[in-house]
Amino acid sequence: MLLAERLQRIVDLVNERKSIRVSELSELCAVTEETIRRDLDKLEAEGKLARTHGGAVSLAETRTEVPYYEREVAFGEEKRRIAEEAVKLVRPKDRIMLDASTSAWYVAKQLPDMPLTVLTNSIKVAIELANKEKIQVISTGGILLSGSLSYVGPLAERSIDPYHFDRLFLSCKGARVDRGLSESNELQGVMKQRMIDAAEEVVLLADHSKFDVQAFTHVAGWDRIDRVITDAGTRAADVARLREMGIDVTQLSS
């Protein structure tokens, strides 16, 4: 197979399957994994796909997220109250991460101006914190997803590697008690996984609309989550099962 033919086949496979791993492409194209990695780097530079940690994802797939302005107003009061509770966990000089969720943005809005280090892959969060002079903000950089106003991709993932954080506040597209957390976007999911790996404590901010939802890509099992803050609309059975798993659950009253 000629180089041009192989590159086109890779693009076709990625678009057809939405996402694919290097090992699969290596087998399908009958070349080494190192060759596939070089091909993927070339195709990403040409804007034909997006690289992930272990393969590639269709650019069309990265645009499946609900636009930020729509998510910002959905269950806004629940998210505001959840964020209010989350901020109680933050102490001066903490090093925390806020993901690109609207729930994390609500946390950023309510954080007091005190000595903190905050890493985020969200443009909205970074802008929200910009006027708080005592908070040092680290922005990841990376591939910008216009729908979520967030950075993802290898550069964003690598920017987390040098650091260790006291706490991560994140949300997700779906949270099922039998399967864990999931996201609609693979690149966003991988970014959340890297954040989880770098945090001493992981706090899930999940209003009731997140539960019993299964999104496209797996993010983490419940064994990686230390705390959950949710609202009164979440089913008592789900709260009970999470507590049985040893997770500290705060359910706000109505």
Q: pLDDT digit string (tens) for 62-72?
A: 545 555 445 44
Residue 74 confidence (pLDDT): 55
Name which residue leads in pLDDT, 34 or 254. 34
pLDDT of 137 strictly over 90: yes
The stretch 79-106 carries a mean pLDDT of 97
The stretch 27-35 carries a mean pLDDT of 94
Q: Around 2, how many Cα atoms within 13 Å sit in the side-chain half-sphere? A: 2
Rounded to whole angstroms, the Cα distance separating 148 from 70 reads: 10
Q: How many residues belong to the chain?
A: 254
Percent of the chain with pLDDT over 70: 93
Q: Around 190, how many Cα atoms within 13 Å sit in the side-chain half-sphere? A: 20
The stretch 74-85 carries a mean pLDDT of 89
Q: Mind listing the pLDDT tens digit for each residue in 196-232? A: 999 999 999 999 989 988 887 899 999 999 999 999 9
Instruction: Please tell me the chain's helix, strand, coil percentages from 3-state DSSP, rounded to the nearest 5.
Output: 40, 25, 35
Question: Of 34, 58, 62, which is closest to residue 48 (Cα–Cα)?
Answer: 58
Residue 186 confidence (pLDDT): 87
Cβ-based neighbours of 6, under 8 Å, separated by 6 or more? 29, 31, 39
Rounded to whole angstroms, the Cα distance separating 211 from 222 reads: 13
Question: Of 215, 173, 188, 204, which is closest to residue 100 (Cα–Cα)?
Answer: 188
Among 116-120, 138-142, 168-172, 186-190, the least confident range: 186-190
Q: What pTM was computed for the model?
A: 0.74
Mean pLDDT of the residues in the chain:
90
Percent of the chain with pLDDT over 90: 72
Name which residue leads in pLDDT, 52 or 185. 185
Rounded to whole angstroms, the Cα distance separating 165 from 119 reads: 9
User: Please, what are the domains in the chain?
Assistant: 3-59 (1.10.10.10), 68-251 (3.40.50.1360)
Tokens 């901020």 appear where?
87
Residue 245 confidence (pLDDT): 97
Place 20 in a pLDDT band, splitting at 50, 70 and 90.
Answer: confident
The answer to whether the beta carbons of residues 51 and 153 sit under 8 Å apart is yes
Residue 134 confidence (pLDDT): 98
DSSP SS3 for 130: coil
Residue 72 confidence (pLDDT): 47
Q: Which residues pair with 19 in a beta bridge?
A: 57
